[in-house]
Chains A and B, each alone.
Chain A
């Protein structure tokens, strides 16, 4: 069996495994294996094929980092609505005591703190961040 067929089979298996696992990195390795198959088809020897596969895999990964799919916005996780579903929700605060309060939210009592610059008055506040189990609202 020719080398390039071996590489292609490896790439196919990797893509199939990727479909089952959904981890994304197998796809990059598969791209590397395809490069190996291409060089094998062009009659390059095995070390060259392997080198090509390795380099293409690494380059694909670096390119992926630069692509729009990667999360480049490394914001504060505590105020990221993707990390914490409570961010952006509203709570009703009846009264404040030195910038802190205890409010009913999602069927439980939570500690609430005022975000810097917010005015301590009764009303509806939006959750801006979660620190520990304390909601920071404004």
Chain B
């Protein structure tokens, strides 16, 4: 086999190509490449154009420095009150130190995932079921702090751990649902009975006020009526007294007695006349003939009254 000049130049061309490929490294922003010089850490390449010495330098690790959301696989945790919970979360982490991320841990993703899972298990184990739903912030902070302590040498910073789902077993969910339903039912019944109670109170109060108002009205009406009657009686008495006074005064005049006699006799006759008119019954005085004696009797009454009055009058 004879090696021609052409073969040699071809080899040189190939070597040149490899040299160029290996020497020039363009690192994108937010990436960091770790360079080993003869197997020992040499430098971390930042973003931009980097020239390394070929054959002795080697790009050993390439890291992305952006924040990475990492799904933590779901796992079963047991709470303090011995309930199984299916929990899965999401972890946000970032490589902050490319050198430590390369050499501090053989696989930092597996390391922080496992640590997040075990920490979560212990945090939830210290809580009761009802607390786990409320204390998400505390759970997240506990997990982040625990990973932070361990990950100091892994070159990784865990920024956040968020629980995505907390799923209790189906039986527990049913029980919770039943409890909530019962609570709601209880509240509904209480509200309805409160309503009925209020309604009855309102009705009773209304009736009470109505009867009070009614009786007040009746009382006022009775008082008004009584006052009216009293006023009427007083007015009639006053009028009667006035009339009698006038009659008395008239009798005192000369010829008064005779006028009275005449008046009485007229009324007596009139009465008998009216009786005969209005009734089909005929009333006949015992002694219709003795009209004069009847009038005399009436006159006697008038005279007696007059005599009594003259006695009573103070002279």
Interface set of A (CB-CB < 8 Å, partner B): 22-25, 28-29, 32, 46-48, 50-51, 53-55, 57-58, 61, 64-65, 69-71, 74, 77-78, 80, 82-86, 106-111, 130-134
Contacts and interface: CB of A to CB of B under 8 A. Distances in A.
- In the complex, which of the residues B10, B141, B154 has the most CB atoms of chain A within 10 Å of its own CB atom? B10
B113 interface: no
- In the complex, which of the residues B29, B51, B152 has the most CB atoms of chain A within 10 Å of its own CB atom? B51
Contact of B24 (A25, A46, A82): A25
Nearest to B26: A24
B21 A84 contact: no
A57 to B, nearest CB: 5
B273 interface: no
Nearest to B153: A132
A46 B29 CA distance: 41
A65 B20 CA distance: 11
Given A25-B20, A131-B97, A133-B97, A71 B49 contact: yes
Contacts of A54: 9, 12-13, 15-17
Interface stretch (B122-130, B155-163, B286-294): B155-163
B98 interface: yes
Interface of B: 4-6, 8-10, 12-13, 15-17, 19-21, 23-24, 26, 29-30, 32, 43-51, 65, 96-100, 104, 141, 144-145, 148, 151-160
B156 A133 contact: yes
A132 B9 contact: no
A22 B26 contact: yes
17 contacts: A23-B24, A23-B26, A24-B26, A25-B23, A57-B20, A61-B24, A64-B49, A70-B50, A71-B50, A82-B48, A83-B47, A108-B160, A109-B145, A132-B151, A133-B151, A133-B156, A133-B157
A108 B157 contact: yes
B12 A132 contact: no
A64 B51 contact: yes
Nearest to B159: A108
A50 to B, nearest CB: 4
B96 A86 contact: yes
Contacts of A61: 19-20, 23-24, 51
A83 B144 contact: no
Contacts of B98: 77, 83
A76 B4 CA distance: 48
A54 B13 CA distance: 5
B102 to A, nearest CB: 11
A75 to B, nearest CB: 9
A133 B155 contact: yes
A108 B94 CA distance: 12
Nearest to A23: B26
- In the complex, which of the residues A32, A53, A71, A111 has the most CB atoms of chain B within 10 Å of its own CB atom? A71
A53 B17 CA distance: 10
A65 B44 CA distance: 17
Contact of A74 (B6, B43, B144): B43
A52 to B, nearest CB: 9
Contacts of B97: 78, 130-133
A50 B9 contact: yes
B310 to A, nearest CB: 124
B148 A55 contact: no
